[in-house]
Amino acid sequence: MIFLKLLAKLIKILRSGVDPRHIAGGFMLGMMLGLLSFRTLFAAPLLLALILINVNLAAAVVALLMFRFIAYLADPLIHSLGYRVLVDFSGLHGFWTYIASMRIVPFTRFNNTLVMGGLILSVVLAVPCYWGVKRLIIGYRVRYQKKVENWKLIKALKGTALFRVLAGVDRLGGR
């Protein structure tokens, strides 16, 4: 069911006339949220951006689920990255200590290895992700959209009532 839902959303996003920049923006924010989790204050501005800026929410949801899963699998690596930045780079200790004594900042939980690792990873991936997804959508629409829509599997899937219902979910997500 979840897999079908995701597939439906994906197909819908890819073939719709939505601006690729909106899809890429949504995907990027979703990726960042997925890697960061909601247990940090860093998630708040990202959520606000998702709600207030014109980005594609369906793309954000797909990216969020996808990167949440990736973050789960890569948990030990993200933890190691965070530990390295927080502990092993002793030159940064003064900076971390300074911001830890500021107001509000501690609620970001930046001193948690997973949050720090996720933050670094998401910031590093943000621009390549935005740019890559945008290029991918444009490339897909120009070269492959018609071919894919003629695939028997896609036609069969689109013929099912369930798929039509699931694909309709995207309407709730704005553009």
Partner 1 sequence: MRKQGLVFLIVVIAIVFLVNSVVTDRWLERRLERFGSRLNGAKVELDRVDFSPFGLSLSWERLQVADPDDTWTNLFETGPCALDLALEPLLKRKFLVEDFDMQDLRFGTQRDTDGRLPKGKEAKSIAESRIVQSVRRNMEAEIERYPLLNLGVLRGQFDMESVWDAAALETPGRIALLEESLAQKYEDWEERMEHLPGEAEIAALQRDIDSIQVERIATPQEARSSFDLLQSVRERAEGYYATVQQISEDFNQQRADLAGLQAEMAGWVEEDYRRLLSIAGLPELSRESIARMLFGERFSRRMEKVLSVMGKVRTYSRKVGKYIPAKELPPRGTGQDIRFVREQDYPGFWIKRMRLTGEASGGTALEGSVLHVVSNQVMIDKPTTLFLEGKRSGGAGLAFSGLIDSRGERPHEQFDLEMRGLSLKGQTLTDFPLLPYTLSEGTATVLGSIDFEGSDFLAEVQFRGSGIDFDTSQRPEMLEDEELYRLSIALVQKINEVQFTALLRQSGEDFKMDLRSNLDDLVLSSLEEVVSEEFRQVQEELESRIEDEIGAPRSEVEALIAERESSLENKIAGTERLIKEQLDRVDQKRREIDARLKAEEEKLRKQVETELERQGEKAGEKARDLIDSLFK
Q: Which residues bind partner 1 (CB under 8 A)?
A: 37, 48, 51-54, 72, 75-76, 79, 82-83, 86-87, 93, 96-98, 100-107, 109, 111-115, 117, 174
Give the count of alpha carbons within 13 A of 157, CB side only.
Answer: 20
For partner 1, the closer of residues 72 and 151 by Cβ is 72
* Cβ proximity to partner 1, 7 vs 19, nearer residue: 19
Distance CA 68, CA 38 (A): 11
Tokens of 149: 């829509």
CB nearer partner 1, residue 11 or residue 35: 35
Task: State the nearest-atom distance from the C-beta of 109 to partner 1, in Å.
Answer: 8
To partner 1, the closest distance from the beta carbon of 41 in angstroms equals 10
CB environment 105-130: b (16+ within 10 A), e (fewer)? eeebbbebbbbbbbbbbbeebeeebb
Answer for the pair 1, 162: CB distance below 8 angstroms, yes or no: no
Q: How far apart are CA 52 and CA 1, in angstroms?
A: 29
Nearer to partner 1 (CB atom), residue 37 or residue 145: 37
Q: Which of 100, 34, 84, 42 is nearest to 63 (CA)?
A: 34
Tell me how far, at minimum, the Cβ of 123 lies from partner 1, in Å.
17
- Report, in Å, the least distance between residue 96 CB and partner 1: 4
Q: Closest separation between CB of residue 53 and partner 1, Å?
A: 7
- Residue 101 or 150: the one with the smaller Cβ distance to partner 1 is 101
CB atoms within 10 A of CB 154: 16
